[in-house]
Amino acid sequence: MKRPILMTAVIGLSVICFAFAPDKKPWNAPDKENKMSNPVKSSTESIDAGKALYAKHCQSCHGKSGLGDGTKASTLKTEPGDFSKSAFQSQSDGSLFYKINEGRDDMPSFKKKMPEANDVWNVVNYLRTLKK
């Protein structure tokens, strides 16, 4: 009699764990966007412009240093990620541009907030400075 109760408890716990497990579906940019090159040269001016835009639009979720520890991070359903990690930094500039522009889940699209493509490219240049 104890075995069926134990099995029911284990199955129930497993269902609960899977139901609340974070969705780790990969977020890959389409090939065309992934292969895009950054037309904005990384310079002090570009990085400073990107840093200002990041502070205005991104810092509240992603944190001052891009560690995913912004003031709004705990309210998100998806983890904002750590921009200093090699998994993030190994993405192409085009992939980062695409993700900023398009958004997904808790990450909003910035097509309207940053309609100038060079602004997004400046943010990409700034994100490159956040590696460890």
Residues spanned by the domain of 95: 28-130
Q: Answer whether residue 49 is part of any domain.
A: yes
- What's the average model confidence in pLDDT over 64-83? 96
58-75 CB burial, b ≥16 within 10 A, e <16: bbebbbeebbbebeebee
Cα 128 to Cα 105: distance, rounded to the nearest angstrom? 23
Provide the number of structural domains found in the chain: 1
Q: Is residue 119 part of a domain?
A: yes
Q: What is the pLDDT of residues 81-103, one digit of tens each?
A: 999 999 999 999 999 999 999 99
41-69 mean pLDDT: 97
- The mean pLDDT value for 24-44 works out to 94
* pLDDT mean over 112-124: 97
**Is the model more confident about 66 or about 19?**
66
Does residue 2 form part of some domain? no
Is residue 58 assigned to a domain?
yes
Domain containing 76 — which CATH number?
Answer: 1.10.760.10
Q: What value does the mean pLDDT of the chain take?
A: 88
Residue 20 inside a domain? The answer is no
